[in-house]
Structure 1
Amino acid sequence: MRLRIITSIIGIPLLLGIVILGGEVLKISLGFISIVGMYEFYKAMDIKVNTIKFVGYFFALIFIFFIFPNTQLYFIFFICFLFSLFLSIIFFHKKYNIIDVGVTFIGFVYVCILLFFIIQVREYTLHGEFFVWLIFISAWGSDTAAYFTGLSIGKHKLSPELSPNKTIEGSLGGVIGGALLSFIYGHICIYFEYIPISNFPIMCAIIGGIGAVASQLGDLTASSIKRYVKIKDYGNLFPGHGGVLDRFDSILFTAPLVYYLIILYKFLF
């Protein structure tokens, strides 16, 4: 517990600074986290398969430094990525197979692509610098609410085989907590006149509640993978918290959801 608190005391201000600065600082930071996260994923999956790591890392670096955020190049990029993976099972057919291709490709999409939606939200033209915090509020805020709700009134197990400590009551508390915290955040933005949108708190509450559901699904997905390869944590980059995927598993699902909810809101209103 002491390690978790110390890591949070150091990590939270660092995260705040990186997200506030945005730009290249945020991109390089997420690039580093992505590579570490992919390393953790590949290392875990190598217990069951034989990931084509050198191709995965190479194209991750290409994506981070040369492709993102130019979405017009995404199609050709993915074609080249898959083509290179298929070449690997031709020239190294004794070492790799089609399962290794699929797992390697999934590792890149699961970690790098989903994580980079944080930048997509942060750089969004319509108040992206404020919307980006909904990712962390709906993920980590709801996680905290779920923990304390489950601790106090949790009785019915949510998914005992994947995550024995999670309860249905805790899950519902997390969704309510994510929506409530996001609603409060929206009111703060309105109060200080950061955003001239009258219904912004309601919008934040909706995003926060849906984001909380996504964060729990992300957490259960990571737990399912860990159960499959029989490991407790992906790594130890964050003392007391585990690795990148242990700390950002909920963020991976929440970030793209928040991005597309913002687009949907703009389209509808």
Structure 2
Amino acid sequence: MTVKPCKPTDMCIILTYRCPMRCKMCNIWDYPTERSKEITPDEIKRLPSVKFINLTGGEPFVREDLEEVLDICFTKSPRVVISTSGWLEERVIDIAKKFPNIGIRISIEGLSCKNDRLRGKEGGFDKGLRTLLTLKEMGLKDIGFGCTVSNDNSADMLSLYRLSRALGLEFATAAFHNSYYFHKSDNVITNKEEVCGNFEKLINMQLKEPRPKSWFRAFFNMGLINYIEGNRRMLPCEAGMINFFVEPYGDVYPCNG
């Protein structure tokens, strides 16, 4: 039997390792890329067309040629989402004015004090929230929080979720982990009972929502509990088949592990 190769639908491009933040769970800022060696718009033109593109970093908004990158990405995919700290708020707003269909996910790891401590920059929460509020006033639809849950912020995750619901914003979660480009090896959840308990509370709130999308997110969060507890993943890994990563020097990987 001949097995047809899968055509990936999702692409993540890490535009840079340069970053203004000083996150506790990531040392990427200590290993910045050289601007002259980062993937160029012309090189991005050679990538395939997909259904979804995520632009991440580092901090994507430090790229001076981000507009040119976005022009190309929107020829490759109908949906492009940028993951950002929101630190460069004026830059985010300027880009959103020129690309009103852009998606923006601002990484916020807790309420004000918790977020600023974990992300290593005082005022980071205020900048991120202010940016999201401005984007919402501008009429952007595909905007929201992204929260990486660690040992220290699972309770704040619940508060952020309630805030996202009150503001009508998207809310995405991840469990912190190690990756070669994080330059970290100690991102391990040790207070599993507390963290998993708070994920269970989040799941219960999501299942009470009238949106099927929230139910799917609840299932995803069940998978995070499974991961934290060291069990087998609930869904098969699709790295390299459905999704792939392009790092700042142009190398292609099946995942960012």
Larger helix proportion of the pair: 1
Higher strand share: 2
Q: Same fold (TM over 0.5)?
A: no
TM normalised by structure 2 equals 0.27
Larger-gyration structure (1/2): 1
